[in-house]
């Protein structure tokens, strides 16, 4: 008897939702994910602007303490089963059902772990309110374990329209609950309520949008564990790398400084993460299908990182350039002291975005050990810098430590991906140099405008027009510089050309 295959639209007698070549399907998938992320972050930005005025930094810091603990426990138990299912071209029902059973076990273990650590966390942070917050998150984690694993097929089969529906509806439900509670309670329970609602909505929607019904099984446990063991190590190290400041700042400087750092991180990485994360999410299934052809995989990778650089470089540099007037407008006067942290973390986020796609190449090739070892090296570089930076400068010191560590680590990361894909330095330089030069010109021009507006009263309403002016001029400078450099280079078949072709096709469609 043969194993039952995972249900798909084709096997169910339905027409595929996406047609065309693999490259076209990857591109369409990336567009769906960018759209989902854009809407998600638009909602998130609106939520942030409202919450920053209804709540105080201490509220954000308190939730950050609890979620840091939750994220750590999640990573210890995360085997990356969704990645394993996507990477495995011959995955069957037993793989899917085993992955679902793993997730339930993980959710229960995380819930119990949170309950066990609630009281120690109270003593570690000297924060009595943490106990109730952590207990609520424990219940939510247990429920989330039952999410329908069948939704992973949306990505495996490049059906990103369904993935879009899932992400959008979940985000909208969390937003409505968070804002309603914020107006009613004016404290950290609004943030917690929104998080719990998001997890509950995710479970319900996963069964409403996907007809697959999983069963309890551990039949494929050895195969999934073999793929995921290095992901557990790598993800845990990555968590400690990105969230160690939560523990260090929370312990040394308290909830206020931690709230400043976390919101600074969120704001500064908003453009880069929102533009790049959905592209990475959409390209991994395509990488997995091209893993057997290194030359094709290398060409696709260069196309993807070209697009990443085109979008991430001006986004990160732009936030750093206008931070002084962005913060009073978006966050209000309570957050002005976060400007240095936002500036430093914007450049950190830019460097992070440029190499974020490397991780998916390694996973597609089945080399999950590489990102784990790189994460360990990055942690070794970062941790002592964060301890010193946090002790001497609080949130701003920690932000500078993150930037310094990323500057030291990035050349190593580039060297590894060059070795794995057999890339030449000239190939990477051709992808990166035009966006970097154009963004440098944009930064200089925008900073001159920011300095010119220094006499403007430093409150939100008066700074709206200067902020919009700086953003518009920055976009114009970057676009003009990028196109000029592309023209001088002989109009190569690069990310610039693909972007122009895309804009041209959308313009023609609109004209009709």
Q: 147-167, pLDDT tens digit by residue?
A: 888 888 777 776 767 777 887
What pLDDT digit, counting tens, does each position of 425-444 carry? Answer: 999 999 999 999 999 999 99
* Distance of alpha carbon 195 from the chain centroid: 17
pLDDT of residue 106: 85
Nearest-angstrom CA–CA distance, 332 and 323:
12
Name the DSSP class of 92. B
Tell me how far CA of residue 316 lies from CA of 102, 358, 443, 455, 497, in angstroms.
Answer: 38, 19, 10, 26, 22
The contacts of residue 505 (CB under 8 Å, 6+ apart) are none
pLDDT of residue 15: 32
Angle between helices 294-330 and 255-290 (to 10 degrees): 160
pTM over 0.75: no
What value, to the nearest 5°, has the Cα angle with vertex 243 and ends 72 and 189?
75
Nearest-angstrom CA–CA distance, 180 and 75:
31
What pLDDT digit, counting tens, does each position of 323-344 carry? Answer: 988 888 888 777 888 899 999 9
| Most confident listed range (8-12, 81-85, 209-213) | 209-213
Tell me how far CA of residue 379 lies from CA of 12, 368, 384, 403, 473, in angstroms.
Answer: 46, 17, 9, 13, 38
Nearest-angstrom CA–CA distance, 11 and 171:
31
The token pair at 190 is: 């609004």
pLDDT of residue 333: 76
Q: Is the pLDDT of residue 454 over 70?
A: yes
Higher-pLDDT residue of 388 and 79 is: 388
What pLDDT digit, counting tens, does each position of 468-502 carry? Answer: 999 999 999 999 999 999 999 988 888 888 777 76
Do 105 and 141 touch, CB atoms closer than 8 A?
no
Q: Is the pLDDT of residue 268 over 70?
A: yes
Q: Is the pLDDT of residue 239 over 90?
A: no
Q: Is the pLDDT of residue 129 over 80?
A: yes
**3-state SS class at 5:** strand
- DSSP secondary structure of 291-309: TT-HHHHHHHHHHHHHHHH
The token pair at 271 is: 């453009």
Angle between helices 189-209 and 22-54 (to 10 degrees): 150
Higher-pLDDT residue of 247 and 191 is: 191
What pLDDT digit, counting tens, does each position of 296-319 carry? Answer: 889 889 988 888 888 889 989 999
pLDDT of residue 135: 92
The structural domains of the chain, with segments of one domain joined by +, span 21-219
Q: How many CB atoms lie within 10 A of CB 253?
A: 20
What is the percent of the chain where pLDDT is above 70? Answer: 80
pLDDT of residue 318: 92
What is the percent of the chain where pLDDT is above 90? Answer: 22
Closest CA to 168 of 202, 204, 212: 202
Name the DSSP class of 289. H
Residues 100-119, mean pLDDT to the nearest whole number: 90
Q: Is the pLDDT of residue 503 over 70?
A: no
The contacts of residue 243 (CB under 8 Å, 6+ apart) are 68, 71, 72
Q: How many residues does this entry show for the chain?
A: 512
The token pair at 186 is: 């004016």
The token pair at 196 is: 């719990």
pLDDT band at 27 (very low <50, low <70, confident <90, very high): low
- DSSP secondary structure of 414-482: HHHHHHHHT--HHHHHHHHHHHHHHHHHHHHHHHHHHHHTTTS-SSHHHHHHHHHHHHHHHHHHHHHHH
What pLDDT digit, counting tens, does each position of 340-395 carry? Answer: 999 999 999 889 888 888 888 888 888 878 888 888 898 889 888 988 888 888 88
Do 486 and 496 touch, CB atoms closer than 8 A?
yes
pLDDT of residue 446: 94
Residues 107-121, mean pLDDT to the nearest whole number: 91
Q: Is the pLDDT of residue 509 over 60?
A: no
Query: Which residues are bridge partners to 5 per DSSP?
Result: 92
pLDDT of residue 13: 35
Nearest-angstrom CA–CA distance, 232 and 77:
7
Helix (H) or strand (E) holding 367: none
Closest CA to 111 of 46, 199, 31, 173: 199
pLDDT band at 5 (very low <50, low <70, confident <90, very high): very low
Q: Is the pLDDT of residue 1 over 50?
A: no
Do 18 and 271 touch, CB atoms closer than 8 A?
no
Angle between helices 294-330 and 495-511 (to 10 degrees): 70
Q: Is the pLDDT of residue 275 over 70?
A: no
126: left (phi over 0), alpha (psi -120 to 50) or beta: left
Please give the mean pLDDT across all residues of the chain.
Answer: 81
Query: Which residues are bridge partners to 92 per DSSP?
Result: 5
């Amino acid at each position: 008897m043969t194993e039952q295959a995972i249900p798909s639209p084709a096997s169910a007698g339905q027409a595929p939702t996406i047609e065309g070549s693999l490259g076209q399907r990857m591109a369409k998938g990336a567009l769906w994910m960018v759209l989902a992320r854009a809407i998600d972050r638009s909602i998130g930005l609106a939520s942030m602007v409202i919450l920053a005025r209804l709540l105080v930094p201490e509220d954000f810091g308190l939730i950050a303490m609890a979620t840091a603990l939750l994220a750590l426990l999640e990573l210890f138990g995360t085997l990356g089963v969704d990645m394993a299912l996507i990477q495995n071209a011959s995955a069957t029902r037993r793989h899917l059902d085993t992955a679902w059973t793993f997730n339930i076990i993980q959710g229960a273990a995380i819930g119990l772990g949170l309950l066990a650590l609630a009281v120690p966390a109270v003593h570690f942070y000297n924060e009595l309110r943490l106990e109730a917050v952590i207990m609520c998150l424990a219940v939510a984690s247990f429920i989330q374990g039952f999410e329908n694993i069948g939704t992973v097929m949306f990505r495996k089969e490049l059906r990103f329209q369904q993935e879009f529906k899932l992400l959008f509806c979940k985000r909208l439900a969390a937003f409505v609950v968070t804002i309603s509670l914020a107006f009613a309670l004016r404290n950290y329970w609004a943030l917690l309520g929104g998080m719990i609602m998001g997890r509950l909505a995710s479970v319900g929607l996963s069964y409403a949008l996907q007809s697959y019904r999983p069963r309890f099984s551990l039949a494929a446990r050895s195969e999934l564990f073999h793929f995921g063991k290095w992901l557990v190590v790598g993800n845990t190290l990555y968590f400690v790398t990105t969230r160690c400041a939560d523990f260090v700042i929370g312990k040394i400087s308290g909830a206020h400084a931690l709230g400043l750092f976390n919101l600074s991180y969120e704001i500064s990485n908003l453009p880069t993460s929102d533009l790049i994360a959905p592209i990475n999410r959409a390209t991994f299934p395509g990488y997995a299908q091209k893993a057997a052809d290194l030359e094709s995989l290398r060409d696709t990778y260069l196309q993807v990182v070209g697009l990443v650089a085109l979008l991430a470089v001006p986004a990160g540099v732009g936030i750093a350039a206008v931070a002084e007037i962005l913060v009073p407008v978006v966050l209000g006067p309570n957050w002005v002291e976060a400007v240095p942290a936002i500036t430093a973390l914007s450049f950190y986020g830019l460097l992070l975005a440029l190499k974020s796609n490397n991780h998916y190449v390694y996973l597609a090739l089945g080399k999950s050990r590489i990102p784990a070892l790189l994460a360990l090296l990055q942690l070794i570089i970062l941790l002592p810098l964060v301890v010193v930076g946090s002790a001497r400068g609080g949130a701003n010191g920690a932000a500078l430590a993150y930037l310094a560590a990323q500057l030291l680590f990035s050349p190593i990361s580039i060297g590894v991906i060059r070795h794995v894909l057999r890339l030449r330095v000239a190939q990477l330089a051709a992808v990166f140099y035009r966006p970097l030069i154009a963004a440098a010109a944009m930064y200089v021009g925008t900073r001159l405008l920011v300095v010119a507006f220094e006499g403007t009263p430093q409150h939100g309403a008066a700074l709206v027009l200067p902020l919009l002016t700086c953003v518009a001029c920055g976009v114009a400078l970057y676009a003009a510089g990028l196109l000029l450099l592309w023209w001088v280079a002989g109009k190569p078949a690069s990310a610039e050309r693909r972007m122009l072709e895309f804009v041209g096709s959308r313009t023609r469609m609109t004209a009709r």
